Chain A
């Protein structure tokens, strides 16, 4: 990497947007930019840093005044507490993490299994009022969860889905399916329909043609889409806290939030649980970082 900081930060668009009269010298502007970026980085990253520090501090250092940035003694007790109950056995938090994994995993699989064929159908077939249907599907994502959570709560209570993992799985699937359909439609559009036509003339049925020739080409797209769905389900808080109550069903976000409050708050435990909670998302986001950008420009790039 032979790019200097100057080159790396002074981008074209910034240069164009700066009116010539107000433009500082090249050096001065770079310094200003670096300063602003540093402030931004500190503001963004400090909570993360503090969370990590707190998770490995002993309790007396957590509450120390003035706060200790360095020179505290490191412990992994908090991380042990996340997974192991004080009396031995599984902790409630570890159950919550397991619930999160089950709910996020199953709802993602369901959304993918439903969404990919739907995306294929919308891409390949002449569906009546296709645009309207697609818009309707997208429109279900317009509402923030908090708007629909009360009606969902009432309906779930009627049908007995309250405080059940199945209930969460269904609502997350419903929220992820539209996203999966839209994102996958973009990927399916990119795969020429001729492969399927050719396979059908070879003697395969349409479904066999899709399965043998189109689906394997969609695997990278499916992986990226599934990771997005997984991250949404993993992070989801509003539905989880409204629709579940017992420790055996609760997912990690409400469970961690539940640690705060009461007479005392074990901040070390909260921080350690948060670190454990954030790690999978970071890993997955790293895995699909290319698609995070591709998702924005999808359709603009033609092969």
Chain B
């Protein structure tokens, strides 16, 4: 199949710098997710790889060969667009057949390929309909079939699940993972949904304002965020960040609390730090040595769990708790902290200081 490598992609639209030196290395056969908020340059990255966007600087290599100036057709890539871009005048069958017609396949080959795809995606009975007669989920499947019908170097997917309702999205997530495994093909998948990224990817690149923040496996990105921004973007509920500094064997919070200094920190005393605590590493139910005291601010029951907001000074901590937890706002609480799983960031640069000691 194929590898996709983008090096130092730069692209500006007028005064907006959409891509600012984006570098990605997509290994053969991987499910590579580009994750970022809207406006981060994810779609532009994908369009640059596809050859739909002229770059200001940087290069795109496909299977190790420089393809920077190649026309989209010459790159042998397939793409699923966010709004599907199905040809409105053509039936679903013709839409799926389009890439094969462009390659002048015989009509018997085309019929066989379309049939194979439509049974894989369960759209056999939709083939004679036009896009206007299809629901969002059906259009999405047809768009997917159009991309999957041939065997390109890599598949590019631009938020293909964003326009689907939640139930369908969860269903298609599983299905896409299944298709990826059965094809063994390279997928470059763009999304702003961290759940999609964490659940489907074997590699994640986190993008913000046209710059790659971190590349790694989903576990690496979640467990060892490279900076405070990645820590805040990945994970739900979001990580709580508390201002503090080290003082001998203690961490002293700006809000007056103290915690034992984690063994792994190398930060010198007095340097402005941010302590990152994920909701599941905090508890209002267990007892541990390290704890913070605060007031109950609010309770969000989410069915399978409850998120307890605890106010420490002027800062809010999000704490994961069992669904049975109760309390009244204003009540004093002790939040215990699993310091082995906490993160420390430099308050000025935002970079993680946790890596060195682990």
Contact = CB atoms under 8 A, between A and B. Distances in A.
Given A201-B99, A205-B73, 16 more contacts: A195-B85, A195-B87, A195-B88, A197-B47, A197-B50, A197-B81, A199-B98, A199-B102, A201-B50, A201-B73, A202-B98, A202-B146, A203-B99, A203-B102, A203-B103, A217-B88
Interface in B51-74: 51-52, 54, 71-73
A117 to B, nearest CB: 19
B26 interface: no
Contacts of B77: 201
A202 B79 CA distance: 9
B167 to A, nearest CB: 26
Contact of A198 (B71, B81, B101, B103): B81
A234 to B, nearest CB: 32
B83 interface: yes
A7 B47 CA distance: 55
B72 A200 contact: yes
Interface string B84-100: 01111100000000110
Nearest to B99: A202
Contacts of A199: 87, 98, 102
Given A197-B52, A197-B81, A203 B87 contact: no
A201 B72 contact: yes
Contacts of A213: 87, 89
B112 to A, nearest CB: 18
Interface of A: 126, 192, 194-195, 197-206, 213, 216-217
B4 to A, nearest CB: 14
Given A192-B85, A195-B85, A201 B71 contact: no
26 contacts: A192-B85, A194-B83, A194-B85, A197-B47, A197-B52, A197-B81, A197-B85, A198-B79, A198-B146, A199-B98, A200-B71, A201-B52, A201-B73, A201-B77, A201-B78, A201-B79, A201-B99, A202-B99, A202-B101, A203-B73, A203-B99, A204-B102, A205-B71, A206-B71, A213-B89, A217-B89
Interface in B5-63: 47, 50-52, 54
For chain B, which range describes its interface: under 10, 10 to 19, 20 to 34, or 35 or more residues? 20 to 34
Nearest to A206: B71
A207 B286 CA distance: 67
| Max chain B C-beta neighbours (<10 A), residue from A126, A199, A216 | A199
Contacts of A197: 47, 50, 52, 72, 79, 81, 85
Contact of A216 (B52, B89, B98, B101): B89
A198 B142 CA distance: 13
Contacts of A216: 89
Contacts of B103: 203
Nearest to A197: B52
A202 B102 CA distance: 7
Contacts of B98: 198-199, 202
A292 B35 CA distance: 47
Contacts of B87: 195, 198-199, 213
A201 B54 CA distance: 15
Nearest to B149: A202
A200 B52 CA distance: 9
Contacts of B54: 126
| Max chain B C-beta neighbours (<10 A), residue from A200, A202, A217 | A202
Contacts of B79: 197-198, 201
A200 B51 CA distance: 9
B324 to A, nearest CB: 49
Contacts of A203: 73, 99, 102-103
A216 B101 CA distance: 18
B298 to A, nearest CB: 40
Contacts of B47: 197
A190 to B, nearest CB: 12
A200 B73 CA distance: 6
Contacts of B78: 201
A254 to B, nearest CB: 44
Contacts of B85: 192, 194-195, 197-198
A84 to B, nearest CB: 47
